[in-house]
Copies of this chain bind each other. A is one copy, B any other.
Amino acid sequence: MINIANFKTTYANRGMTLESDINQTNKYYKDNNIALVYKKPTPIKIVKVEYPKNVIKEAYFSEPSTLDYTGIYKNTYIEFDAKETISKTSFPLSNIHKHQLEHIKNIIHYGGLAYLIVRFTTINQTYLLTGKNLLEFINTNTRKSIPLDYFKQKGFFIEFKYNPRVDYIKIIDKILKSKEVD
């Protein structure tokens, strides 16, 4: 017998997470020949493997040094992370590791686009914040979280749609256009 309560919860959660929305969006982009973007495997440190069947019996999650998603759009290298916060007022910087900040700097240096997609789940608002603006905040602030207001001023609001769910390529288009004018 299916436990309906559990099923509903699982289903609802699955439908609502930012990650599944991004995955659906990337599939939409790929199927419609708009962009090629994919999630990288989770970084893991493998300690014990059982032979001959190659079953991993002991492994640990390791700290990521890059961002979760990589891809190409209009000849441009893109890389980003998708993060959720339940806070209504700010995004905790503890979500971003030191190596990831270094990596963002490097991507920008080599002409790629690095950014975050942050969803404030409680107020149901999603923003794209460029790596450049993220680094600018960190370099000019001692705060341990980025206020929602900063996202409103410097970030780009992403409307929730049915298909694709999180249409971030629209924003990337704007950013690439403003770069041409630079």
Contact = CB atoms under 8 A, between A and B. Distances in A.
Contact of A60 (B35, B56, B58, B75): B56
A110 interface: yes
A98 interface: no
A66 B38 contact: yes
A74 interface: yes
Interface in A28-61: 30, 33, 35-36, 38, 40-44, 46, 54-61
Contacts of A72: 77, 107, 110-112
A30 B57 CA distance: 34
How many copies of the chain does the oligomer comprise? 2
Contacts of A77: 72, 75-77, 112
A157 interface: no
Contacts of A110: 35-36, 72-75
Contacts of A30: 106
Interface string A72-113: 111111000000000000000000000000000011011110
A70 interface: yes
Contacts of A46: 42
A61 B33 CA distance: 29
Contact of A75 (B54, B57, B111): B111
24 contacts: A35-B110, A36-B107, A38-B65, A40-B41, A41-B42, A42-B46, A44-B44, A44-B59, A54-B61, A56-B56, A56-B58, A56-B60, A72-B107, A72-B110, A72-B111, A72-B112, A73-B110, A74-B111, A75-B110, A75-B111, A75-B112, A76-B77, A77-B77, A77-B112
In the A-B complex, the 9 residue pairs with the smallest Cβ-Cβ separation, listed nearest first, are A75-B111, A56-B59, A72-B110, A41-B43, A41-B41, A77-B77, A72-B77, A36-B106, A72-B112
